[in-house]
Amino acid sequence: MIVLSGTIGAGKTSLTHLLAQHLNKPAFYESVEDNEILPLFYKNPKKYGFLLQIYFLNKRLDSIKAASKDDESVLDRSIFEDSLLFKLNADLGRATQTESDIYNSLLQNMMQELPDTKEKKNPDLLIHINISFDTMLTRIKKRGRSYEQIDKDPELYDYYKTLDARYVNWYQNYDKSPKMQINGDEFDFVEDTGAQKKVLSMVDQKIAELNL
């Protein structure tokens, strides 16, 4: 099981698609386009923050259970990032500390309900896509989701800036599985076919090192 991680606009969905094709593995994607709660959250994060987090938790657990039925799979988001995102919302006053504590307790309990083997709960490899803050903003603007745009909500700039900084510490402290990091600025696999080949080669090398 390979999972992707990274900030908004890092290219997780794109790399998941590339890896699934390259490795001939099933892909599992984060529910975004059909997520009715996400636009509501951006309009009123205090009201919908906890509900959104529970929605993602439910969807991600479904993906993990489905992916664990296959010997090989690629997921476009790690469930271990969710606490980071919700803690940020709590620190910014977009959710209460009580809601954050309840969510973390629920996450731990639900993870314990998954199959006993560590290999089923945790990925075999986490791939973190690291992009600069400027690249994040450029891609958010380019993909055009209205509720994500800074020009419609200037407060999002500080949210994105803080999120970018926290991902650095999150990746450094991640210890649930082997991990590797890809520089998404240096290797623009979203647009550049040459970069795609280099990134896939890097992943192949890491998989070989881990004997997966």
Residue 158 and residue 84: Cα distance in Å, rounded? Answer: 16
Residue 82 and residue 77: Cα distance in Å, rounded? Answer: 9
Query: 27, 73 in Cβ contact below 8 A?
Result: yes
184 is in an annotated binding site: no
186 is in an annotated binding site: no
10 is in an annotated binding site: yes
143 is in an annotated binding site: yes
Among the options 76, 91, 192, 204, which is catalytic?
76
Site of tokens 């970069």: 195
34 assigned to active site: no
In the sheet that holds 179-183, the strands lie side by side as 27-28, 74-75, 2-5, 125-130, 179-183
175 is in an annotated binding site: no
119 is in an annotated binding site: no
9 is in an annotated binding site: yes
Q: What are phi and psi of 198, to 5 degrees?
A: -65, -45
Binding-site residues, in ranges, read 6-14, 30, 42, 53, 77, 82, 139-143, 148
What are the residue numbers of the active site?
A: 76
Residues placed in the known binding site for substrate: 30, 42, 53, 77, 82, 148
**Binding-site residues from annotation for ATP:** 6-14, 139-143
